[in-house]
Structure 1
């Protein structure tokens, strides 16, 4: 018996409960991750932190987006 590509998607398990729970957990992790990234990028925490530590303004404005994207990359990698 051959396995079709369509058989390998979500809900291919023998029980309908486990895939549903996994999908709900996956959705919850995605929403939480999006909220964390959104709040981090929205308020400019890295820029204000750099300025509080005495980093010159022009350097802080260059570093902040790089750090924000690094955080986003780590969160996506752990996902």
Structure 2
């Protein structure tokens, strides 16, 4: 990889996480697709839309309630293929 041409936005991906246990706020789990692979997205807006599709009630509750968040979109670096 030629780091002089490094564009961080090209290598940023987004993944979804959910906290399934209210009693353990540190227990976040990555969301996987039907194939068992990590769901990743190139655009944050796509990731947020998919999160709302998968967990509509939790996402809506987070918008209007003052409780803790149970879903999130996390940015990460994509794997370097070189």
State the structure with bigger RCO (CA 8 A, min sep 6), 1 or 2.
2
| TM above 0.5 | no
Higher strand share: 2
Q: Greater CA radius of gyration, 1 or 2? A: 1
TM-score, normalisation: structure 2: 0.32
Higher helix proportion, which one?
A: 1
TM-score by length of 1: 0.33
